[in-house]
């Protein structure tokens, strides 16, 4: 989809412009359902601005299309047991939510911990020095790999913008880092406490030495969990979509992907 057209009143979508085999084609229908993901759906609405919707479609009442982008604060911890091998083939089988709502002395949600796909030796070649004194064979054989997810918070300044038809700009500054750091430290401590003999080592290219272990945090281009750019709600002044994901400002436009979330949760 390249662009949406509206009726003269601006209340209905009358055409969906798409590129099909290199040709632009206009589709019509009684209802139009957009589901391009939080970045691309908001970009489509912004790019489709017209006289009746000068700030972008569905954006007259709230000005929130593209805003409140969230993507989770994400990272991995790779523990390597010195006690035994981990021969799991299908490792992604367990999630731990004990710290989801915080912990004694810390009342804020910290997020969730889950197993992630198993480290394989092919992904370690070339990083031998980072794992020393362990060999990469030991790491691949004995690793127990964890994925940590913490909520980020909705902020209007974290937003998707467009420049012309081709360019999408994403402004995002991470917030809510403290609970993620706390969750990371807590989990690292528990792995040590339960005597699994873990060394926490960096995975992939991104790592931050911290408190004697390595934390791998997903960088900005990891936007796999994008939500929030067309949030839903009852009030047209503070939300883009109604509770059925229909645009407040257009009668036949629905947005049904991750855009409608007003908060990301952390599962
Ligand atoms: C590597 C990775 C691992 C993940 N693991 C998990 C997991 O274990 N558990 C979990 O819950 N979630 C996971 N997620 C997140 C999950 O995949 C997303 O939250 C979910 O797919 C978002 O759904 P969506 O409908 O919002 O967007 P998408 O699934 O991204 O769908 C958008 C679709 O729109 C298409 N599109 C984009 N622009 C246009 C356009 N202009 N015109 C027409 N079509 C367009 C795209 O090609 C795409 O097919 C993972 C994501 C990634 C990247």
Structure confidence by residue, pLDDT tens digits, 62-93: 999 999 999 999 888 888 887 789 999 888 89
Enter the pTM of the model. 0.91
Q: Is the pLDDT of residue 235 over 60?
A: yes
Average pLDDT of the chain?
89
| Ligand 1 center from residue 223 Cα (angstroms) | 9
Higher pLDDT, 67 or 194: 67
Atom of ligand 1 nearest to the CA of 267: 11
Substitution candidate for ligand 1 out of 225, 232, 255 with most atoms within 8 A of CB: 225
Q: Is 75 exposed, middle or buried (0-12, 13-18, 19+ CB in 10 A)?
A: buried
| Ligand 1 mean position, distance from CA 222 (Å) | 12
Task: Name which residue sits closest to atom 46 of ligand 1, judged by CA.
Answer: 36
Instruction: Please name the residue whose Cα sits nearest to atom 49 of ligand 1.
Output: 36
Question: What tens digit of pLDDT does each residue of 238-265 get?
Answer: 999 999 999 999 999 999 999 999 999 8
Query: Which region among 73-82, 89-98, 209-218, 221-230 has the lowest average model confidence (pLDDT)?
Result: 209-218
Confidence of residue 196 (pLDDT cuts 50, 70, 90): low
pLDDT of 200 higher than 60: no
What's the pLDDT score for residue 67? Answer: 98
| Residue 62 in tokens | 């709230």
CB 255 within 8 A of CB 241: yes
Residue 161 binned pLDDT confidence (cut-offs 50, 70, 90): very high
Instruction: Compute the distance from residue 227 Cα to the ligand 1 centre, in Å.
Output: 10
pLDDT at 203 over 90: no
Question: Using CA positions, which residue lies closest to atom 22 of ligand 1?
Answer: 258
* Residue of 39, 85, 67, 43 whose CA lies nearest to 197: 85
Q: Which residue in this structure is represented by tokens 């939080």?
A: 38
**What mean pLDDT do residues 196-205 have?**
50
Of 36, 91, 220, the one to substitute when testing ligand 1's pocket (max ligand atoms within 8 A of C-beta) is 36
Residue 75: closest CA among 210, 213, 196, 219: 219
Ligand 1 centroid, distance to 40 Cα (angstroms): 10
pLDDT at 211: 34
Lowest average pLDDT, out of 13-17, 47-51, 60-64, 263-267, goes to 263-267
């Amino acid at each position: 989809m390249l662009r949406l057209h509206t009726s003269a009143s601006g209340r209905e979508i009358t055409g969906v412009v798409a590129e099909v085999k290199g040709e632009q084609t206009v589709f019509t229908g009684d209802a139009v359902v957009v589901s391009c993901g939080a970045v691309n759906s908001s970009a489509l609405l912004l790019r489709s601005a017209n006289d009746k919707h000068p700030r972008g479609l569905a954006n007259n009442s709230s000005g929130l299309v593209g805003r409140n982008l969230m993507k989770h604060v994400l990272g991995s911890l790779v523990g390597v047991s010195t006690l035994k091998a981990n021969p799991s083939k299908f490792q992604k089988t367990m999630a731990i939510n004990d710290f989801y709502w915080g912990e004694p002395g810390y009342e804020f949600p910290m997020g969730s911990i889950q197993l992630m796909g198993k480290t394989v030796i092919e992904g370690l070649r070339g990083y031998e020095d980072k794992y020393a004194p362990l060999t990469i064979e030991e790491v691949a054989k004995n690793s127990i790999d964890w994925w940590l997810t913490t909520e980020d918070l909705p902020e209007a300044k974290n937003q998707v913008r467009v420049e012309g038809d081709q360019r999408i700009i994403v402004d995002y500054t991470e917030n809510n880092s403290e609970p993620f750091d706390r969750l990371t430290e807590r989990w690292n401590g528990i792995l040590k406490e339960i005597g699994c003999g873990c060394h926490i080592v960096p995975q992939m290219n991104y790592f931050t030495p911290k408190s004697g272990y390595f934390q791998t945090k997903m960088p900005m281009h990891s936007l796999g969990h994008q939500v929030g750019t067309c949030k839903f709600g009852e009030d047209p002044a503070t939300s883009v979509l109604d509770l059925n994901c229909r645009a407040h400002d257009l009668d036949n436009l629905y947005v049904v992907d991750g855009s409608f979330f007003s908060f990301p949760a952390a599962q």
